[in-house]
A and B are shown apart, each in its own frame.
Chain A
């Protein structure tokens, strides 16, 4: 197992290098110049050139890339050019990432709390009323964009009920968990519902698939109690493919959800990256996207390891 993890981590290095090249090129090829954004109305050619020189933007692309990569390897993510001029990118990201991480985990919790039980129930009552209702609700959940759910939540809690926390904003955990959760719960619901619909549908179809398996029939033929068949035979095996979907969803969520963060005015990573793009803050964009790639690789690894935990038929040996 340890060797397997090590191998996967080593394999992540070329992936990261390729990703870094793509990110770098995309950012630099895209139209728009950070210097011109910085200068605003004062578009003086001499000034522009001087600033470009100062920021190293006048160097050939490959030199700029190698400098950036070299700094990365030393753990230096660079300095923000325009989002928060002069601030170290690492600090900016660390600050924002706590918000995104918390939102992602809460949203996933909300999603799973809704999705797993309804998925199970829906499959057990296939083609009955409960099933139809949960499927229609899931369809609606997938179809409604989460910013709309967010706006509805704000309207209801913030405007109709006049709750201060219903209007969005962010309170760091350090200033009290209760106050923090109060602000986080609505965005978590807004974001979680759409994922819950995806997971619920997957859970349902996976359950139905397992329910027709021979070992479920065997368990029944041996007089195993219904609840035990559901738990040990059906749900346990049905969860295996659902884990991939959950893993993927967490991967997406860790990339930050720009829309939900803006609707609820949360200073998350999605917000940061959008700001950085508007203002052409190259170091910030590059660092954030690269970190998202890295997290995605790690999440995939964790999902693969979970597989082995859930399914004894899968074994990771060093030969794989």
Chain B
């Protein structure tokens, strides 16, 4: 089945003009996502995953600025939209679910009111119909006794239930693109599995494209079709999940995969960690951002900044030494 392209990001540059200097939060990112596909964006804190998502949402606020690039949703450049148009797109065509479900819900509004007002702003439904729809949505995301829960407050629910409420809110207007920013970080593993099962169901049901932001590669392996790895504001590797887990082209990705604990590994083995620290996004070293921590770096790496290049079908990486490293192994 040929899937239609839903989202394409070209050469996105987002900077923050802070009093300490200019932060290169996202630096020339290229991404695409097809309908019904799940893309995992992986990276450590500060790697630019959330800023990329917020750029798509049009929610970069002062002192942040999108300086360059195109964000095409079904071919339509979102960067040309007015704030009013973006407000209709947010919650309508694109919806986003955030990390901490307790702080992401208004403590003084009932769950029903919070979902209901999203419908109120995006549809012309009457209050009565909205009420019915909200109860249906609560039921759809697996909340027991939805009629009773409608009038409940967020603090009366468990973390998993609250995350379901946020998902219900996000899918209330049948978005084409759903962005999930570490949706299960605050949840325990069994609940996490349930949430991902729910997301999978909803994705099939609505044929949504999903961007899943996470720092957990095992989650990516289980839920995503494709994966994009970010490091210090740059996209450094992108490909189908099977490809990237089979062979990692970038030394950073290689380090990430090596640092996943293996159940069949030796018991007394220390977990691998990548030496060094994430570079300061204000004073970037120049050349490849990963060079200071890279075991394979050469003089050239500190001078020339690598760009994404396709090495295998639908598998790109931004590293000058991909070929040499591959043969070295």
Contact = CB atoms under 8 A, between A and B. Distances in A.
B85 to A, nearest CB: 11
A232 B91 contact: no
Interface in B59-107: 59, 87-92, 95-96, 98, 100, 103-107
A227 to B, nearest CB: 11
Contact of B121 (A218, A228, A233, A236): A228
Interface of B: 57, 59, 87-92, 95-96, 98, 100, 103-109, 117-118, 121-122, 153, 155, 166, 169-170
> SS class of chain A's interface: helix, strand, loop or mixed?
helix
B108 A218 contact: no
Given A213-B103, A214-B104, A233-B106, A222 B91 contact: yes
Interface string A210-222: 0001110111111
In the A-B complex, the 9 residue pairs with the smallest Cβ-Cβ separation, listed nearest first, are: A223-B91, A222-B91, A223-B90, A214-B103, A215-B106, A221-B96, A222-B118, A214-B104, A312-B153
Interface residues of A, number: 23
A223 B118 CA distance: 7
Contacts of A54: none
A311 interface: yes
A258 B29 CA distance: 68
Interface string A221-239: 1111110100011001100
B194 to A, nearest CB: 21
A238 to B, nearest CB: 10
A237 B91 contact: no
Interface of A: 213-215, 217-226, 228, 232-233, 236-237, 240, 310-313
Contacts of B166: 218
Contacts of B103: 213-215
A250 B89 CA distance: 46
A124 B121 CA distance: 22
Given A213-B103, A214-B98, A220 B59 contact: yes
24 contacts: A213-B103, A214-B98, A214-B100, A215-B107, A218-B98, A218-B104, A218-B105, A219-B106, A221-B90, A222-B169, A223-B89, A223-B91, A223-B122, A224-B117, A225-B121, A233-B109, A236-B106, A236-B108, A236-B109, A310-B108, A312-B153, A313-B107, A313-B153, A313-B155
A240 to B, nearest CB: 8
B98 A223 contact: no
B156 to A, nearest CB: 8
A223 B120 CA distance: 10
Nearest to A228: B117
Given A222-B95, A222-B118, 6 more contacts: A218-B104, A221-B95, A224-B117, A228-B117, A240-B108, A312-B155
